Each structure stands twice: as C-alpha cells, then as structure tokens.
Structure 1
C-alpha cells in the first residue's frame, strides 16, 4: 500500500504537476537555494505517496524549466537561476550613448541580457492601446516589437506603441535599434517622461507567446500593460510586456500611510 500523501490532490492537475508546483514554490521562495540538493526520489515518493515514475516526471518538469539539474551519482540540485526582480515603480532611463537598459540592468546583476528587434511599423491600434491614447480602435499607430533574452534564453516580449503624430518620421518609426532605448528619443522630441501607470496580470501564454518565449510547459506569463505620460498628463507611450513567469518577480514599494 502506498503511504498517505502529505500533498492534498487538487483534482485538476496531474500529480507530477502538483509536486513540481510545490518544489518550484520552495525554490522561488528561497527555501531551496542554488546548490541545495532536492529531496531524494525515495523521500519524495514517501512524502507524496506516489510512484518513482511520478517523481521522475515532476523532476523532468523542473529540469525543463531549468530550476534543477541532475548530477550523475549525486542527485538533483537547484540551479543558480535567479528570477529578475522588477521594481514596479522603476522606468529605465539610459543616456543615448549607452546600451539598452535591459542589457545594463542585467549586467549589474551578473546576467547577460540581449535585445532583438522583431518588427517596426504602422499597425491598427488594439482596443486597450487605442483607449489609452484616446483613439478609435483600429486607428494606425507605430509599434516597436522586441524580444528580450536573459543568459541566451527568451524572457520577455515587448510591444511599444506611439501615436503617429509623435512617431512618424522619427527614429521611433525606423526599423533599427535605438541605443539607450526610447525615453531619450521622446525627450528629444519634446515629450519627457513624467510618470507611468502599470497594470499587471497573470495568464497562460498564447500560441505566439509560447513559441517565441520557448516556454517548457503551461507556465503562466506576466502581462504588464504600461501607459507612460509626458507633460500635462499626455499619454506618450503604451507598452505591453509579456514576461516568462519563471524568470521574473514584481516588487512594489508602498509610500508611508497618510
């Protein structure tokens, strides 16, 4: 008879997915740190009341997500992968002659960031983008679409939108990278960035996102919808960021209570 499991069955996910979720939570919380040995197969079988095959499937999920790695003859260990902590109140700004903020910010953490420009052009404004700009749905806007990678792995998809009266005929509409990012260009055009409002949600990836981010399974993505305002509260940039959930944590700093 199998021992009684200490993990209640949620009745929806397969047992290996539930075990992987528990171990993943321990890793992300820091209770299991880089270099720590994951409990042995025998221990996990006893703890969760499952077979060897189920434990191996659970570990395979975490290996695909690069949270753990097997070391022959020693066991399974937590990798050095650490999520990028994104401060919700932080809007990166880099001097025009400097690399993209994604590159410099990650370099300061000892990580290797890279940016691939996927597309620049005029597109019909999606509903949420149009509403932010006060435009009709489908009105033409300029979009800059990028893929951000971390240590060689796709980490984030970014779509930055601009109204035509701001972007047409400027570097924002050119199909080339902008050294230092777009804030400097907007400032040069007379639209300094004053503040931004973010909405963050979690959901499963679309087919496009799943493929581009090379997700290992049904990992959730974080969708960050940001509206950036210039003088007189004019919305000047709308950005949609879709982040591979296993790579990121969002940090909030709250003001002193009034």
Structure 2
C-alpha cells in the first residue's frame, strides 16, 4: 500500500468513527427526526464492531442530543436544533425602538431568544482582530462579550471589538445591553455599515468556548471573524463568533 494511503487511515477510535458516520446521516436528513436508527445488530454488522463499541457510539450521539433512547428500546433521531444562519440578514441596523434583529429572527423560528452580557472592558485584542481594526502593535479596543441563547440554551459566544477612539465614552463602553444592537447604535453615531467581510473556519474550541457553549464532547466550533467597515473603508467593528459546529450551518447568498 502506498505510504500516502497509510497516512490517510482514520486513526480515531471505532466508536468515534461510527458516531461520525451516523451524525452525518442525521445532519444531512438521511435519518429523519422521529425515525429509528438501525438496530444494534445491524450496526454491529455494518461497522464490524462489538456491541459495547456500538453502544459507546450511540452514547456519543445521545450526549450531543441528536438521538434519544434507553437500554432495550429503539434509538430515535431527535428533533435536533441545527440552525441555518444567514449572516447578511443580521447585520443591518433596525428602526428606532425596535429590538436587536437576532432576537426578532429567533422569535420567527418559535424560539425565545435572549442575550447575556458577560463582560465589557478595554483590552488588547487578539492579533488577527487588531490587524483588522488597524490598531498597530500596541493599540487597544473596547471589548463586549455576550452569550446568545435560545430557550435558555447557549448557542453562540460573541466577542466584539471596537476602536478605542470610536467607542470610549459611548454606550459601547458601558456594561449594559444596547437596544437595537450595535449595528443600530453605530449607525446613529455616524458610522453606518457599508461592507461586512466574514472569515469562517472550523476550530477546536478554547476552554472558554467549550464551557460557555456547554459542548458535549470533542466537536469543532464554527469560528467567524467578522469585520464591519463604514464610510471611507474605515473598520468600525471586529467580532469573533463561536457556534457549535454540529448544530449550525452558514448560508451565504450571492447576486
């Protein structure tokens, strides 16, 4: 066998490989919500695995809340909460007095959206954020960290950064929620969003992300670094957003 093929062998434990294949079938819709997974015997035959290994794989999916079942009963695919995010619809300012657009969208989906403000501080941002905001080697920014929730369950950890000269002395630097969201506030301050650029990657979660999102196991997150530009290509906001990778997908539309 060529060495390249040897290097490509899946070295994950067998139960993790079984869970990965079944997870993909659930997320793609091949195994629909309400349907039963194949029997333990069929899974043993399909994956050439022991009963204990199959049960360990099923427990992974139960911990991820993708399936439900108990010993001696069929394992059923749950109505899982994978969500399609349309970034273009969330970054626009709202009319005066209206709630933040993310909360409105949650309501349209029949969910109770809420936001927990975790921290507001002046910090030196991560290097990629500092570069996006053109802060130089020593520049600082106002940071706002929030946890977005649906029906009390955490779905996204959002950390926003604003150039100090823009944010200091404004509501952006105050430890309170901003009605209508920051896009609306920035527009009212004279910095309307003109261009938004997203950089999306899949990453292993940090300890903070793992704990805040209450992740069930060794799963990746979707990390989005979003930079918002106003007039004259001035960067006014850089945001790091972390979402559970097995619960979300991003949809981008081009015209």
The two structures share one fold, judged by TM-score above 0.5: yes
> Is contact 1:130-1:138 (8 Å) kept?
no
Note the C-alpha offset of 1:72: 6.8
The CA deviation string for residues 62-118 of structure 1, in whole angstroms up to 9 with x for no partner, is: 111100111576411111113111124333333342333332212211223221100
Mapped to 1, the partners of 2:248 and 2:136 lie a distance apart of 34
Which residue in the other structure is 1:194 paired with?
194
Uncovered stretches (5+) of structure 1, i.e. residues with no partner: 1-8
> Is contact 2:90-2:102 (8 Å) kept?
no
The CA RMSD over aligned residues, in Å, is 1.7
> Is contact 1:26-1:32 (8 Å) kept?
yes
Which residue in the other structure is 2:216 paired with?
216
Note the C-alpha offset of 1:220: 0.3
Which residue in the other structure is 1:66 paired with?
65
Helix, strand or coil for the counterpart of 1:253? coil
Which residue in the other structure is 1:115 paired with?
115
How do 1:73-88 residues align onto structure 2 when only pairs under 5 Å count?
74-88=73-87
The CA deviation string for residues 113-164 of structure 1, in whole angstroms up to 9 with x for no partner, is: 2211000111113211211121123412101100112232222111111111
Which residue in the other structure is 1:229 paired with?
229
- 1:174 matched to 2:174? The reply is yes
> Is contact 2:90-2:101 (8 Å) kept?
no
The TM-score, its normalising length taken from structure 1, stands at 0.90
Uncovered stretches (5+) of structure 2, i.e. residues with no partner: 1-7
> Is contact 1:213-1:244 (8 Å) kept?
yes
The TM-score, its normalising length taken from structure 2, stands at 0.91
Mapped to 2, the partners of 1:125 and 1:72 lie a distance apart of 49
Distance change (3 Å), C-alpha of 1:46 and 1:66: same
Which residue in the other structure is 2:98 paired with?
98
Note the C-alpha offset of 1:225: 0.4
Helix, strand or coil for the counterpart of 1:23? helix
The CA deviation string for residues 165-203 of structure 1, in whole angstroms up to 9 with x for no partner, is: 211111111100112211111011101111200000001
Which residue in the other structure is 2:19 paired with?
20
Q: How many residues align?
A: 247
Mapped to 1, the partners of 2:187 and 2:87 lie a distance apart of 22
The CA deviation string for residues 27-79 of structure 1, in whole angstroms up to 9 with x for no partner, is: 11111111111111111111111111111110110111100111576411111
